[in-house]
Structure 1
Amino acid sequence: MMQDASTFGGSLLSRSYLASLAGAQDGRTDASAIRAFRTICRDAASLGRWSAARAVADVFAAPMARLLGFEVRGWRPSADGLFAMTLAAGTEALAMMVAMPAQEGVERIRTRVVAAASAAGLRWAIVSNGRVLALVDCARPHARRWLSADVAACAADPDAAQGLLRVMNARTLAPDASGRAPLEMMIATSEADLRGVRAALQGGVERAALTLTSALSRGRSGGRDVEHLFGEALTVVYRILFLQFAESRGLVPVWHPTYRRAYTVEALREILEAGSDHAGMWDALQAMARLAHRGARAGELVVVPFNGRLFSPAHAPVVASRHIPDRDAAAVVSALTLVERDGGRPDPIPFVDLGVEQLGSIYERVLDFTPERDAATGAATLRRGGPRKSTGTFYTPRALTEFIVRRTLQPLVAGRAPEDILKLKVLDPAMGSGAFLVAACRFLAREYEASLARNGLAGAEDLSPRDRAGFRRLVAQHCLYGVDVNPMAAQLGRLSLWLCSLAADKPLTFLDHRLRVGNSLVGTTLNHVSVRAPGGRGRSSEATLFGPDALESIGRAREIRLALDATPDDTIEDVHRKEELLSTLESRDGPLASWRAICDAWCAAWFMPGITIRGADFAAMSAAARGDAAFSHPAVSRLLERAREIARARRFFHWDLEFPEVLRPDGGGFDAVIGNPPWEMLRGEADAKALLRFSRDSGTFRLQSKGHGNAYQLFLERSLELVRSGGRFGLVLPWGIAADEGSAGLRRALFDKASLDEVVVIDNRDAIFPIHRALKFVALSGTNAGHTPSLRLRPPIRDLADLDRLSSGAAAGSEPAEISRELLGRLSGEVLAIPGVSGAAEVHALDFLTRSAPAASSASGWGLRFGRGLNATDDRALFRESGDGFPVIAGRHISPFHVETAGLPARIPADVARGRLGDAVLRHRLSYRDVSGAGNRTTLVAAIVPPRVVTTHTVFCLRTRLPLDEQLFVCALLNSYVLNFVARTRVGTHVTTAIAHALPLPRPSRSSPVFSRIAGLARALASGPADPQLACRLQAEVAMLFNLDAGTLETILATFPLVPRDERDMVLAAVRARCAI
Structure 2
Amino acid sequence: MTKQTRHHEWLSLIDVSGPFLAAPVLEKVFPQGLESVDPLKRRHLRQAYDEWREALDLEDPRLVDIHQAWGELVLTEGLDLNDEEGDTLRSGDRLPDGLSYRHPESSVTLNPAYVVVDDQHEDKPLMLVAVHGPEVDLDSTIEGDGWATSPAERMVQLCRATETRLGLVTNGERWMLVDAPVGAVTTFASWYARLWSQEPMTLQAFVTLLGINRFFDAKDRRLSALLDDSLQHQDEVTDALGKQVQRAVDVLIQSLNRANHDRNQELLKGIPPGELYEAALTVMMRLVFLLNAEERELMDVVKDERFQTYYAVSSLRIQLREQAGLHSEELLSHRRDAWSRLLAIFRAIYGGIEHEALRMPALGGSLFDPDRFPFLEGRIKGTSWRTDEARPLPIDNRTVLLLLDAIQLFQGRTLSYRALDVENIGYVYEGLLEHTVERAKEVILDLDATKSAKKPWVGLEELESAEEEGGKAVERLLKERTGSAISRVRNDLKKSVDPEDNARLLAACHNDQSLCNRIAPYFHLLRIDSWGYPLAYPQGSYMVTTGTDRRETGTHYTPKSLTEAIVTETLEPVAYVGPAEGEARENWRLKSSEELLDLKVCDPAMGSGAFLVQACRWLSERLLEAWQDEERAGKCIRIDGKSLDSLEGGEPLPRDVEERLLVARRLIAKRCLYGVDINPMAVELAKLSIWLVTLAKGRPFGFLDHNLRSGDSLLGIHDLDQLRCLDMEPNRAGSGRKLFAQAIDQAVDEAVELCKRLRQRLILDIHDVEAMAELDKEARRKLE
TM (norm. structure 1) is 0.46
* Counterpart for residue 210 of structure 1: 250
Q: Distance in 2 between matches of 1:198 and 1:160?
A: 26
Which residue among 177, 187, 201 is the counterpart of 1:135?
177
Please report how far the alpha carbon of residue 453 of structure 1 lies from its aligned counterpart in structure 2 after TM superposition.
Answer: 4.3
Given that 2:321 and 2:401 are in contact with CA atoms closer than 8 Å, whether structure 1 keeps it comes out as no
2:183/2:562 contact within 8 Å kept: no
Cα offset, 1:149, TM superposition: 4.3
Cα distance in structure 2, aligned partners of 1:24 and 1:470: 48
Name the aligned partner's letter for residue 97 of structure 1. Answer: V
Q: Against the structure 1 CA distance between its residues 316 and 134, is the aligned structure 2 distance closer, same or farther, given a 3 Å change threshold?
A: same
- 1:651 alignment counterpart: none
In structure 1, the residue matched to 2:126 is 94
Task: Map 1:396-795 to 2 at 5 A.
Answer: 396-414=558-576, 415-455=590-630, 463=656, 465-508=658-701, 510-523=703-716, 607-608=723-724, 640-642=735-737, 690=748
The SS at the match of 1:315 is coil
Q: TM-score, length-normalised on structure 2?
A: 0.62
Pair 138,638 (structure 1): closer, same or farther in 2 beyond 3 Å: closer
What is the CA–CA distance in structure 2 between the aligned matches of 1:89 and 1:134, rounded to whole Å?
22
Q: Give the SS at the match of 1:97.
A: strand
Is 1:176 matched with 2:201? Answer: no
Q: Which amino acid letter does the alignment assign opposite residue 224 of structure 1?
A: I
**Contact 1:422-1:478 within 8 A present in 2 as well:** yes
Change (3 A) 1:23 1:129: farther
Deviation at 1:992, TM superposition (A): 12
Cα gap change, 1:448 to 1:158, in 2 (>3 Å): farther
Structure 2 distance, partners of 1:500, 1:409, is: 19
Query: 1:290 pairs with 342, 347, 357, which one?
Result: 347
Partner of 1:200: 240
Counterpart in 1 of 2:307?
259
* Structure 2 Cα separation of the partners of residues 244 and 158 of structure 1: 29
Distance 1:454 1:689, change over 3 A: farther
Q: Could you tell me how far apart the structure 1 residues matched to 2:119 and 2:711 are?
A: 63
Determine the C-alpha separation between the residues in 2 that align with 1:55 and 1:462: 30
Q: Where does the alignment leave 5 or more consecutive residues of structure 2 unmatched?
A: 1-7, 83-88, 101-107, 139-148, 380-391, 443-537, 577-589, 637-653, 777-784
Q: 2-side partners of 1:164 and 1:140: how far apart?
A: 24
Partner of 2:399: 329
In the TM superposition, 1:312-351 aligns within 5 A as 312-320=369-377, 321=379, 322-326=392-396, 329-330=399-400, 332-337=402-407, 339=409, 341=411, 346-351=412-417
Amino acid at match of 1:492: L
**CA contact 1:235–1:316 (8 Å) conserved in 2:** no
The secondary structure found in structure 2 opposite 1:640 is coil
The one-letter amino acid paired with 2:429 is Y
2:425 to 343, 356, 359: 359
Distance 1:120-1:352 versus aligned 2 partners, 3 A rule:
closer
Alignment RMSD (CA, Å): 4.9
1:69 pairs with one of 55, 58, 80? 80
Deviation of residue 467 (structure 1)? Answer: 4.3
CA contact (8 A) 1:7 1:154 kept: no
Q: Aligned ranges for residues 623-1022 of structure 1 at < 5 Å?
A: 640-642=735-737, 690=748, 953=765, 956=768
Residue type at the aligned position of 2:395: P
What secondary structure is seen at the aligned counterpart in 2 of 1:488? Answer: helix
Instruction: Give, in angstroms, the shift of residue 245 of structure 1.
Output: 2.0
Three-state SS of the structure 2 residue aligned to 1:98 is strand
Match in the other structure for 2:85:
none
The CA distance in 2 between the partners of 1:146 and 1:319, in whole Å, is 40
Given residue 451 of structure 1, which amino acid in structure 2 is its aligned partner? A
Q: Who is 1:806 aligned against?
A: none
Aligned AA (2:735): L
| Matched letter for residue 221 of structure 1 | L
Q: One-letter code of the match for 1:518?
A: G
**1:326 Cα deviation from its structure 2 partner:** 0.6
d(CA) in 2 for partners of 1:413 and 1:454? Answer: 14
- Which residue of structure 2 aligns with residue 308 of structure 1? 365
Residue matched to 1:225: 272
Structure 1 or 2, whichever has the larger Rg, is 1
8 Å contact kept, 2:16–2:419: no
Higher relative contact order (CA 8 A, sep 6+): 2
Q: Which residue identity lines up with residue 396 of structure 1 in the other structure?
A: T
Amino acid paired to 1:324:
P
Shift of 1:272: 4.0
CA contact (8 A) 1:251 1:504 kept: yes
Amino acid at match of 2:277: F
2:581 corresponds to: none
User: When the two structures are aligned, how many residues end up with a matched partner?
Assistant: 574
Closer, same or farther: CA 17–356 of 1 in aligned 2, 3 Å: farther
Report how far residue 496 of structure 1 moved.
1.2
Q: CA–CA distance in 2 between the matches of 1:187 and 1:140?
A: 13
Residues 135 and 958 of structure 1, relative CA distance in 2, 3 Å threshold: closer
Q: What CA distance in whole angstroms lies between the structure 2 residues aligned with 1:193 and 1:636? A: 51
TM alignment of 1:54-65, pairs within 5 A: 58-65=68-75
Q: C-alpha displacement at 1:424, in angstroms?
A: 2.2
1:388 aligns with 2:550: yes
Asked if the contact 1:14/1:353 (under 8 Å) is kept, the reply is no
Q: What corresponds to 2:318 in structure 1?
A: 270
The correspondence for 1:85, drawn from 114, 127, 136, is: 114
CA-to-aligned-CA distance 1:806-829 (integer Å, 9 cap, x gap): xxxxxxxxxxxxxxxxxxxxxxxx
Counterpart secondary structure, 2:176: strand
Per-residue CA deviation, residues 962-1016 of structure 1 (Å, 9 max, x unaligned), is: xxxxxxxxxxxxxxxxxxxxxxxxxxxx99999xxxxxxxxxxxxxxxxxxxxxx
Answer yes or no: is the 8 Å Cα contact 1:50–1:102 preserved in 2.
Answer: no
Aligned pair in 2 of structure 1 residues 408, 133: CA closer, same or farther (>3 Å)?
same
Structure 1 residues 323 and 103: CA distance shift in structure 2, 3 A: same
- Mark the CA change 1:423 to 1:38 in structure 2 (over 3 Å): closer, same or farther: farther
Q: 1:118-173: CA deviations, max 9, x gaps?
A: 6766442323344543323354387433434455566765454443333322222x
Query: What letter matches 1:223 in structure 2?
Result: G
Contact kept in structure 2, 1:96 and 1:125, CA below 8 Å: yes
The 3 A distance-change label for structure 1 pair 433 and 443 is same
Which of 273, 277, 282 is residue 235 of structure 1 equivalent to?
282
Q: State the secondary structure of the residue aligned to 1:305.
A: coil
Change (3 A) 1:6 1:140: farther
Question: What residue ranges of structure 1 are gaps of 5+ in the alignment?
Answer: 525-599, 626-634, 647-685, 695-705, 710-869, 875-929, 932-951, 960-989, 995-1077
Alignment partners' CA distance in 2, 1:52 and 1:438: 45
Pick from 159, 163, 179: which aligns with 2:205? 163
In the alignment, what sits opposite 1:718?
none
CA contact (8 A) 1:132 1:151 kept: yes
- CA offset digits 1:413-438 (Å, max 9, x no partner): 33133444333221111112211111
Query: How has the CA–CA distance of structure 1 residues 418 and 195 changed in structure 2, closer, same or farther, with 3 Å as cutoff?
Result: same
Q: 1:213 to 1:122 in 2, by over 3 A?
A: closer
